[in-house]
Amino acid sequence: MVLKIKDINYEDWSPSWKSSKKPKKQRKYIINAPLHVRGKIISSMLSKDIKNIIKINSLPLRVGDYVKVLRGKYRNVEGFVVYIDRKRYKVYIDNVKFTNKKGKEIYRPIHHSKLMILRLNLKDKKRIEIIKRKMKDKNVPEEKINDLINNFSVKDDELAKVMEINKKFK
């Protein structure tokens, strides 16, 4: 099924539809969701190593996260998230490209549910606060955050390259 994105009506949206069992309302929730809610919807599962440390299953994607494609033509390809298109619920990865008929290399859009986060972009303090808040619900010690930052965060030089690509994107 293809989501009809052309007729987005942000005024015709209610957060109460999130808990609805009706598929029609669930689709309406996704299609008409405002951009700040779409950012939360665009989340992916974490790798087993990160899950074992912080006891969280998924997090919203950010530019600079290192991900692995789990399904489709580009299965098992790993790369950095270069751009996130909130309007179309698509993620662009630096190693997932194809050549069009004119010979130009173009990034292939991928749905967020087909991705697994291997390393996190932890340069944003708010994201660390989100992780801490979710960890407190699971009663995980704060020493684990230092372990997460040391072992599963993206390095500065890699992040600088990704941000440079992001500026040139679209």
Segment 81-123, tens digit of pLDDT: 999 999 999 999 999 999 999 999 999 999 999 999 999 999 9
* Cβ atoms of 43 and 59 closer than 8 Å: yes
CATH-assigned architecture of domain 45-168: Roll (2.30)
List Cβ neighbours of 122 (8 Å cut-off, separation of 6 or more). Answer: 128, 148, 149, 153, 154
Confidence of residue 25 (pLDDT cuts 50, 70, 90): confident
16-25, 113-122, 126-135: least confident range:
16-25
Residue 2 pLDDT: 55
The DSSP line for 66-89 is: EEEE-SSTTTT-EEEEEEEETTTT
Residue 5 pLDDT: 59
